Amino acid sequence: MQVLLGVGGTPLSYQALDETIARAQEAGDELTVAVFASGAADASRDEVEQRVRETLAETDVPSTVRHVEGDPGSDLVTIANRESFDRIVLGSGERSPLGKIQLGSVAEFVLLNAQTPVTLVR
């Protein structure tokens, strides 16, 4: 399966990276990681990319790293459609001060607009 994983630099996005790698190793998926700087994270896109590359370097999963240039949600949906990905994976669902789960704007956009199945890791 061709999997498109969006990583924006939040803790949950790195958790999604770990889980997607583990799943890819079992299922033989090919992984494309699209990196961007989430407004909810305190990291630049370069920092996110570096961490993603370091994590992937420790695995033998066939993978590609690329950039999301414009609006992350919209670009992820466009890439998935245009390049015939089978699935989009995202980590989202941070908790509010009193514990309510809240999806980020990228995850909301992708869930509502994607034409491929979406896996939400939280």
Partner 1 sequence: MSPAFPDEPADSFPRPPRSFADGAGRTIDVERASDADAADLLAMYREFDPADRAQGIPPVQAEAIEQWLDTILAEDCVNVVARYDGAAVGHATLVPDGDIGYELAIFVLSEYQGAGIGTELVETLLGLGQAEGIEKVWLTVERWNDPAIALYKNVGFETSDAERFELEMGIRI
CB of 94 to partner 1, least distance (A): 10
CB of 97 to partner 1, least distance (A): 5
CB of 115 to partner 1, least distance (A): 19
**Amino acid in the structure at residue 106:** V
Chain residues in the site for partner 1 (CB under 8 A)? 95-103, 105, 108
* Phi, psi of 62, deg, nearest 5: -65, 120
**Cα distance between residue 115 and residue 78, in whole Å:** 9
Q: Which helix (H) or strand (E) holds 81?
A: helix 72-82
Closer CB to partner 1, 29 or 91, in the complex: 91
